[in-house]
Structure formats: C-alpha cells, structure tokens
Structure 1
Amino acid sequence: MSGEAELIDPAELREWIVFEDEDVLVIDKPGWIVCHPSKNGPWSSLVGACRELTGLETLHLVARLDRETSGIVLIAKRPASARRLQMAFQERRVNKEYLAIMSGELTELVTVNQPLAKDLESQVAARVTVRKSRSAQKAVTAFEPLASGGGYTLVRVHPETGRKHQIRAHAFWLGHPIAGDKIYGPDDTLFLEFITEGWTPRLDAALPMRRQALHATSLTFDGGPQFRLPLAWDMAQFAREVMGIDIDAYCAAPEVKKTAENYGFSS
C-alpha cells in the first residue's frame, strides 16, 4: 500500500459487489480503496469506478468508509433511493456493526460516551479527539471483546452515532488503539510520513499491520435487508498468525437477508 490512491481493476470491482438492484450497490471494499473521487481519474476511487462500471453519471455514497477501513459500502443509484436511505440513517433505523483488532487486552464490554472535536494539538488536520467544546459532537461507541491473544483483542464494535473517525478515536481514548492505525496509533506523524513517502521502514517497525484493522461487517435496516460480510482476509490472517485464535466463525460467506417482503429503497 502506498500513500497515493491505487487504481481499481474492473474485474476485481465486479467481485466486490455483494448485492445490486435498480436502486443500490452494496460493495465489499478492500482496505486500500478511497471512496470519494480523486485527482487520479475515475478508477482511483470506489465511486468513480462504480460510475464507470454502471454507466451512471451520478451515484450517491450513503454509507462510506475511511480509506483503510474495509467492509460494507452502500451506494444509491437514484436520488430518491439516496434520500430514503439517508433518512433511515438520520432516524437511526440502521444498525452498523464492525470487527476490529485492538491493541492490548480488553476484558469486558465497554461503552464509550465521549464527545469528539478537532484535535488542535495534532499535525494531522483530520484528527479528532475526546474533548468538550462548543464544536464537540456527541459520540457513543460500544466495544465487545470476542477473543484475545498475542497482545491484541478481536472486538465487535457497535457505533450508536456516526461521527468522523469515531471508532478509532474512542479506541485510542480507551488506551486500546486499533492495530495498524497511522493516525490514532503510537505516533500520528506516521500518517504524514505515509502520505508523502509511502510505506517506510519506520512504519514497518511501528505498526503491526499495513492498514488499520477495522472492518464494517454488518449493515441492517429495521424491517428491511441485512448485509453481512466475513472478516477481511488480512485481519483474519493476523488473528490466526499473531493472535493464535480460531477465526473461522468470523470468516463465513457473505449473506444478504431480506427481512421484509418489499423493501424497495426507492418507494
């Protein structure tokens, strides 16, 4: 993985499609893909590549992920579909679940209810931190430990709110940062080094993975469909080889469950 956005192979993109109909695309995004269009052309971002693949001029990114977070991305093909989906998120009728590998041993369920605001002391402009201020936003995240080993814990994460970098910032505040996180890990200057120089010996020595070990594994709509993905291959490999845990239960085939007879996103 380098600091610049890498190009997407059209054949690989087709394999990432978990579900598609006339209203939506559900993508299993790898942890090296940016969601939003970039200066490097349409095949350098997920939205740009999906526009090329579908032939649609406009797509609406409803549930996005940070570049190095893998898992479920939801894209609406029509404005009406996008409005309905965005309303569902705003009204909290959508449940999102992540799997993460956190540094250290987390022994019990922890719910973090701490506001997030821009980190004024960081050199990384995008970094947020737990602090109270007029600009701070309410943020709530539940961390449920599943298995530990090798100095790390596999955790199921339920974000009750949807703030930027919420899971990563709350994990850092807990003292159990996400493994491989360049911004919320041992030193946020690692991120600055990465975007200018790519993967360096310093990053290799400081980080146990080449990207943050965070995977959006489930998206469930009240009275609607449920999309569930297996754990990303690189996180599964880390869990087996470094943590020494049986990861098979988290590596099942993708599922799409329609819990309502008619859930059309555009109606």
Structure 2
Amino acid sequence: MTRPRFPVPMPTRDGVSPSCVSLPHGPWPTIADFLVERFPAISREAWLSRIEANDVCDEHGVPITATRRYESPLRVYYYRALDAETPIPFEELVLHQDDDLVVVDKPPFVPVTPTGKYVQQSLLVRLKRKLGLDDLVPLHRIDRNTSGLVLFSVRPETRGLYQAMFPERRIDKHYEAVVPWHEGVSSVPAVYRSRLVDDDHFMRMREAPGEPNSETRIVLREARDGHALLELSPVTGRKHQLRVHCQALGLPIVNDPFYPTLQPAGNDDFDRPLQLLARSLSFVDPLNGALRTFESPRRLALPSAPAAAAA
C-alpha cells in the first residue's frame, strides 16, 4: 500500500525541511507539555521560545501556542534549532541536472543527509540551498568518508521508478580504493562473499559465520611501492561492505577511520581522506529506456615511494 504524501505546512528554511512528529494518544495537558517530554534534550524554555517565534505549527499550518490543548491524532511540524557548524572545506560538483535527476560528485567528509552535528554541511542541504529544489531526495547513500557519485530524485512523481533500480540491482556501481600491498601478494579474488552483521559498536559491521549476504567483485588495477589500486563493484549494498571486505582480505583501505581500528569521533583529518571513491554509475533509465552512464572527475593515485636517503 502506498503511503499518502501529506503537504508540509512550513517551507524549507536554509535548505532544511521542518521536522514532524505525530501526537499519540496520551495524558498531556498541552502540546507543549508533550514536546518537552518527547524531546528531553530540548528544554521547556527552548520549546516556548520556538513556539513564540511561530516555529511550531500543526498539519494545517496553524501555529501552536504555549497553552493549546493536546490533540490526538495530529501532526506537528517544527524547525530544528541549529548550532553553529564547522565548515567542511570541500565543495560538491553537480555533474548533471534534468527534470527528474541530479547527479553529484560528493567530496569526502560530507554526509549525504543531515545526521548528528551535520545539518547545513550535509550534501542534501547544500544542494537544496544551491539549486532551490525543496523536493530533492537522495536515491541512495554513500558513507560520509567516501567520495564520489550520488543520485538525487527531483520529482516525487518519478521517484519510485528510480528507487526501484537499487533493490532490483538494475544499476551498476564501480568504486576505486587504494590499499596497502604486501610483498609476495600477487593477486586478489575476483569475487568475495561473506555474511555481514552489526558489530558490537553501532558504527561498524563485522563478518560472521553463515550464508553470505554480501558480494563484491574485485579487480587489481595497479600495484607498486607498497600500495595497490583496486576496482570494487558491489553486487549487494550492505553497510560498509567494501571497507569490511577489504579489511577481511588483509587490505584495509588507506585512511579508513573505522577499520581495522575505530578512531575517536570528531577527529577528522582533512589532509587524510579515506581512499575510497564511488567512481561510476550506469543504468537503463526507467522513463525512456536510454542507457545512462556517469563518472566522477576525481581520481585516486597511489602514493609515491619515499625518496632514497642520500649516501
């Protein structure tokens, strides 16, 4: 059953759509009382300040007042209060834009969608501000640390046709990665499969015994001076799949802050980006049957061997 798409009664502000919460049945005297209890990280004073500024309204666009009685069911919309964000000093590049699709080359360190401390610096919000497209939605995601291609849907009317390509595996995705290369290693498996499950730490994945649920095709492109350039083609789309598969082969991707060792959060080193690039995407367009191929202008390079010391 298709979920109905309700009109949002508040406009996008600085590229960020309003958040929404549905009011369940409950004993709260006022809507403000519910909001304070539902979001304990936000003080009552902060909620009252937002309400006074008309930054909270119901699904009909009627502003919520501090004394409005609780009503259920009802959807309430509100703007998040945004803390100052540290700018990420890399810019995205729009490679293609038409009535239905936007194709973007994402820099490293930028999350695709707002998450945690990243809102204005997320790729989605950046693009909404830059392109003026409030209905823009990512069709898939790549990790914050990964650079390369991301597809966005422009129109809700055609979004489902493009979204279906991913679970139905009708889109070819190719990545590149730089990994350490050990003396005596001469090849990589053409295909690597394993079972991936959540790790004890919520940010990571790990391999486990059992029926494989992930598959990656691997091609060795170049190897020299202690590093190699791999082409990685994920057949499945599990979280961190490429990073875990490389780690399992003893070839952890260069500058990976998660594998083999999880680095402390908030320690981004902009001079050491993860050497993983979503290089190309190709698919048959579900609207017109045309073959469409997009390629990132970025390139990964093997590190140069250190110069020999002078005698």
Same fold (TM over 0.5): yes
- Other-structure match for 2:137: 60
Aligned ranges 1:1-267 → 2 under 5 Å = 6-7=86-87, 12-13=91-92, 16-38=93-115, 42-105=119-182, 107-110=186-189, 111-120=191-200, 124-132=201-209, 138-185=213-260, 187-188=261-262, 190=263, 193=264, 195-199=265-269, 210-222=272-284, 223-232=290-299, 235-236=300-301, 239=302, 241-242=304-305
Shift of 1:42: 4.9
- Other-structure match for 2:19: none
Q: Contact 1:107–1:145 (CA<8 Å) still a contact in 2?
A: no
What fraction of aligned residue pairs are identical, expressed as a percent? 29
- Paired letter, 2:161: R
* SS in structure 2 at match of 1:83: helix
Q: Contact 2:137–2:153 (CA<8 Å) still a contact in 1?
A: yes
Question: What are the superposed Cα offsets for residues 10-33 of structure 1, whole Å, 9 maximum, x if unpaired?
Answer: 9x44xx011111111101111121
* SS in structure 2 at match of 1:115: strand
Question: What are the superposed Cα offsets for residues 102-159 of structure 1, whole Å, 9 maximum, x if unpaired?
Answer: 1224633411110100123xxx4221111036xx871001111011112111001111
What is the alpha-carbon distance in structure 1 between the residues aligned to residue 204 and residue 241 of structure 2?
A: 10
- Other-structure match for 1:261: none
TM-score normalised by L of structure 1:
0.72
- Other-structure match for 1:251: none
Q: Contact 2:136–2:153 (CA<8 Å) still a contact in 1?
A: yes
Q: Contact 1:98–1:217 (CA<8 Å) still a contact in 2?
A: yes
What is the alpha-carbon distance in structure 1 between the residues aligned to residue 85 and residue 174 of structure 2?
A: 26
> Per the alignment, do residues 41 and 117 of structure 1 end up closer, same or farther by CA in structure 2, a change over 3 Å counting?
closer
- Paired letter, 1:181: D
Larger relative contact order (CA 8 Å, sep ≥ 6): 1
Shift of 1:6: 4.6
Give ranges in structure 2 of 5+ residues lacking alignment: 1-83, 285-289
Across the two proteins, how many residue pairs are aligned to each other? Answer: 216
Larger radius of gyration: 2
- Other-structure match for 1:248: none
Give ranges in structure 1 of 5+ residues lacking alignment: 245-267
